[in-house]
Amino acid sequence: MTRTRTQPKPASPPIARKTGKSPDVESSPDTRARLIDAAGEEFAEHGFAKATVRDICARAGANIAAVNYHFRDKETLYLETLRHAHRYSIEHYPHHGGLKPDAPAKDKLRAFVRAFLAKMLDCKRPKWHGRLISREMTEPTPALTLLIEEGVRPQFGALCAIVRELAPSVKGDEMEACAASVIGQALHYHHCNSMIKRLYTERKDGFPFDLEFLTDHITRFSLAAFDGLERGAREKNKNRRTNNS
């Protein structure tokens, strides 16, 4: 039980930060960054439980002990990787999609849907970000709180604002359910990706759903729904007025 490392307590392992030299950069940017990258791919592909530290280190070209040196343990590495993916996500895919706040609500909805789908489906540089985040939704770990408060809640709020513009007569729980309907449509292609692909394996023309097609469909479907809901509310109002008078 003799400890030779710098830390006196097992509760505060190395983690190697702030060497005193580079003030703003974390130590060993090389290995540490490569580990996060490799961990992201492994975690996204196999999930937290089945991803092994050995594979992660092998992919990163690092020693097995690297994970426990740079991060405390596998779980901390996971949390840090998730944080990284999440930061990247909210930086590169703003929900307004570059639109001004006074843009037409329809355009804002389309931009939101596109950004949401892109975040999940688009296989840009770090293609594991989406899978990692959605995995956290399906089987939450303690890291879920971070995602919700910083990512989900603001985005959901923004979508609710758009919904209020498009269907002002819908209020309360119904309004939030409408927002959930939009998100649900988009997430479906992410969660059930493997199943949907399997459903279409026999088709000669392959998988027909790309980012453009899906953005188009979901926007049109949702706009049609909002339109119909508003129309229904107007008619109900009319009926009530004629009945009352």
Partner DNA sequence: ATGGCCGTCAAACATCCGTTTGAATCGGAC
Partner DNA sequence: GTCCGATTCAAACGGATGTTTGACGGCCAT
6 binds DNA (CB under 7 A): yes
Q: At what angle do helices 153-166 and 172-191 cross, to 10 degrees?
A: 120
User: Residue 127's binding partner, choosing from DNA, its own copies, none, with beta-carbon cut-off 5 to 8 A by kind?
Assistant: none
* Contacts to its own copies by CB under 8 A: 47, 49-50, 135, 137-140, 144-145, 148, 152-153, 156, 173-174, 177-178, 180-181, 183-189, 191-192, 194-196, 198-199, 208-209, 213-214, 217-218, 220-229, 231-232
Minimum distance, C-beta of residue 140 to DNA, in the bound complex (Å): 19
Q: Which does 64 bind (CB under 5 to 8 A by kind): its own copies, DNA, none?
A: DNA
Instruction: Compare residues 57 and 113 and give the one whose CB is closer to DNA.
Output: 57
Angle subtended at Cα 42 by Cα 39 and Cα 47, rounded to the nearest 5 degrees: 110
CA distances from 237 to 16, 169, 180, 205, 225 (A): 66, 10, 26, 47, 18
237 is a site residue for DNA (CB under 7 A): no
CB-nearer residue toward DNA: 68 or 193:
68
Q: What is the nearest approach in angstroms of its own copies to the Cβ of residue 182? A: 9
30 binds DNA (CB under 7 A): yes
Q: Site for DNA (CB under 7 A): which residue of 75, 210, 212, 227?
A: 75
194 binds, among DNA, its own copies, none (CB under 5 to 8 A by kind): its own copies
Residue 208's nearest CA partner among 195, 197, 219, 192 is 197
Site string for DNA, 40-69 (x = CB under 7 A): -----------xxxx-------xxxxxxxx
The residue ranges that bind DNA (CB under 7 A) are 1-6, 10, 13-14, 16, 19-21, 27-28, 30-31, 51-54, 62-70, 73-75
